[in-house]
Structure 1
Amino acid sequence: MKPHTVSSIRTIISGELIQGSDEEIVHYGAYRLKQIKNQNTILFTNKRIIDWRTLKKFFPLVLATEWKYSKDEIPENVTVIQVTNADESYWKFVHYYRNQFEIPVVAITGTSGKTTTKEMIKHILSADRIVTATSLTSNSRTANLQYLLSIDEETDAAIFETAVGSPGDVLKAGEYFKPTIGIITNIGAHHLNYCKTLEGYIGAKGEMVKIVNPAGVLIINTEDSNTSKIDMKSFNGKIIKIGIHTTCHFRAFNIQYSQDGMQFSVRHKEIDYQVYVPGFGVHQVYNALAAIAAVYEMGVTIPEAAAHLKTFRKFNKQLQVVDGINDSVIIDDTWSITTTSLEAALKVLNEIGKEKKKVAIIGTITDLGSWGYIIHEKAGEIIYQQGVDVLITIGEHASIMAEHAVKMGFSSPVYTFRNEILVLNLLSKIIDSNTIVLIKGDMYSKPIIELASKLRKKK
Structure 2
Amino acid sequence: MKAHTVGEIRGIIAGELVQGTDETKVYFGAYRLKQIKNKNTILFTSKRIVNWKSLEEFFPLVLATEWKYKENEIPDNITVINVINSEQAYWKFIHYYRSLFDIPVVAITGTSGKTTTKEMIRHILSIDHKVTATNLTSNSRTAYLQYLLKIEEDTEVAVFETAVGAPGDVLKAGEYFKPTIGIITNIGAHHLNYCKTLEGYIAAKGEMVEIIDPAGVIIINGDDFNTRKINVRRFPGKIVKIGKKRNSHFKATNIHYRKDGMQFSVQHKNKNYQVFVPGFGEHQVYNALYAIAAVYEMGVSVTEAARRLKSFIKYEKQLQVLDGINGSIVLDDTWSMTTTSLEAALKVLNEVGLDKKKIAIIGTITDLGSWGYIIHKEAGNIVYQNGVDVLITIGFHAKIIADHLVELGFKSPVYKFNNGTLVYDLLKEIVDDETIILIKGDMYSQSIKELAFKLRNKSN
TM-score (norm 2): 0.99
Whether 1:339 aligns to 2:339 is yes
The range that moved more, 231-240 or 185-194, is: 231-240
Question: Aligned with 2:240: secondary structure?
Answer: strand
Question: Aligned with 1:314: secondary structure?
Answer: coil
Q: Residues of 2 paired with 1:425 and 1:58: CA distance?
A: 51
For residues 7-32 of structure 1, what are the alpha-carbon distances to aligned partners after superposition, in whole Å with 9 as ceiling and x for unaligned? 11000000001010101110000000
Question: Aligned with 1:73: secondary structure?
Answer: coil
Q: CA RMSD in A?
A: 0.6
Would you say the 8 A contact 1:328–1:434 is kept in 2?
A: yes
Question: Aligned with 2:233: secondary structure?
Answer: coil
Q: Which residue of 1 aligns with 2:83?
A: 83
1:233 deviates by: 2.8
Correspondence 1:61-100 to 2 at 5 A: 61-100=61-100
Whether 1:393 aligns to 2:393 is yes
Correspondence 1:398-409 to 2 at 5 A: 398-409=398-409
Correspondence 1:271-420 to 2 at 5 A: 271-420=271-420
Q: Residues of 2 paired with 1:78 and 1:342: CA distance?
A: 52
Correspondence 1:241-280 to 2 at 5 A: 241-280=241-280
Q: Residues of 1 paired with 2:443 and 2:63: CA distance?
A: 37
The amino acid across from 1:277 in the alignment is V
Q: Which residue of 1 aligns with 2:13?
A: 13
The amino acid across from 1:432 in the alignment is D
Question: Aligned with 1:422: secondary structure?
Answer: helix
Q: Residues of 1 paired with 2:179 and 2:246: CA distance?
A: 28
Q: Which residue of 1 aligns with 2:56?
A: 56
For residues 237-276 of structure 1, what are the alpha-carbon distances to aligned partners after superposition, in whole Å with 9 as ceiling and x for unaligned? 0000000011100000000001100000000000000000
Q: Which residue of 2 aligns with 1:210?
A: 210
Would you say the 8 A contact 1:384–1:409 is kept in 2?
A: no
Q: Residues of 2 paired with 1:71 and 1:34: CA distance?
A: 26
Q: Residues of 1 paired with 2:234 and 2:99: CA distance?
A: 23
Q: Residues of 2 paired with 1:455 and 1:191: CA distance?
A: 30
Would you say the 8 A contact 1:362–1:392 is kept in 2?
A: yes
Question: Aligned with 1:101: secondary structure?
Answer: coil
Correspondence 1:26-41 to 2 at 5 A: 26-41=26-41
The amino acid across from 1:154 in the alignment is D
Question: Aligned with 1:253: secondary structure?
Answer: strand
Q: Residues of 1 paired with 2:415 and 2:18: CA distance?
A: 68
For residues 101-126 of structure 1, what are the alpha-carbon distances to aligned partners after superposition, in whole Å with 9 as ceiling and x for unaligned? 00000000000000000000000000
1:281 deviates by: 0.2
1:409 deviates by: 2.2
Q: Residues of 1 paired with 2:452 and 2:79: CA distance?
A: 51
Q: Residues of 2 paired with 1:442 and 1:276: CA distance?
A: 27
Question: Aligned with 1:293: secondary structure?
Answer: helix
Q: Residues of 1 paired with 2:234 and 2:434: CA distance?
A: 54
Q: Which residue of 2 aligns with 1:234?
A: 234
1:187 deviates by: 0.4
Q: Which residue of 2 aligns with 1:170?
A: 170
Q: Residues of 1 paired with 2:56 and 2:426: CA distance?
A: 56
Q: Residues of 1 paired with 2:70 and 2:274: CA distance?
A: 68
Q: Residues of 2 paired with 1:273 and 1:78: CA distance?
A: 59
Q: Which residue of 1 aligns with 2:198?
A: 198
1:396 deviates by: 1.2
Question: Aligned with 2:232: secondary structure?
Answer: coil
Q: Which residue of 2 aligns with 1:144?
A: 144
For residues 289-339 of structure 1, what are the alpha-carbon distances to aligned partners after superposition, in whole Å with 9 as ceiling and x for unaligned? 000000000000111101110000000000000000000000000001100
Where structure 2 has 5 or more consecutive residues not aligned to the other structure, the ranges are none
The amino acid across from 1:147 in the alignment is Y
Q: Which residue of 2 aligns with 1:225?
A: 225
Q: Residues of 1 paired with 2:37 and 2:420: CA distance?
A: 39
Identical-pair percentage:
72
Q: Residues of 1 paired with 2:250 and 2:420: CA distance?
A: 43
Q: Residues of 2 paired with 1:71 and 1:63: CA distance?
A: 15
Question: Aligned with 1:241: secondary structure?
Answer: strand
Q: Residues of 1 paired with 2:327 and 2:12: CA distance?
A: 64
Q: Residues of 1 paired with 2:68 and 2:414: CA distance?
A: 66
Q: Which residue of 1 aligns with 2:153?
A: 153
Question: Aligned with 2:291: secondary structure?
Answer: helix
The amino acid across from 1:10 in the alignment is R
The amino acid across from 1:259 in the alignment is K
Q: Residues of 2 paired with 1:51 and 1:449: CA distance?
A: 39
Q: Residues of 1 paired with 2:246 and 2:181: CA distance?
A: 23
Question: Aligned with 2:245: secondary structure?
Answer: coil
Whether 1:107 aligns to 2:107 is yes
The amino acid across from 1:291 in the alignment is A
The amino acid across from 1:288 in the alignment is A
The amino acid across from 1:128 in the alignment is D
1:419 deviates by: 1.2
1:66 deviates by: 0.3
Q: How many residues align?
A: 459
1:51 deviates by: 1.0
Whether 1:457 aligns to 2:460 is no
Question: Aligned with 1:67: secondary structure?
Answer: coil
1:425 deviates by: 1.0
Would you say the 8 A contact 1:106–1:158 is kept in 2?
A: yes
Would you say the 8 A contact 1:164–1:191 is kept in 2?
A: yes
Question: Aligned with 1:277: secondary structure?
Answer: strand
The amino acid across from 1:92 in the alignment is K
Would you say the 8 A contact 1:349–1:438 is kept in 2?
A: yes
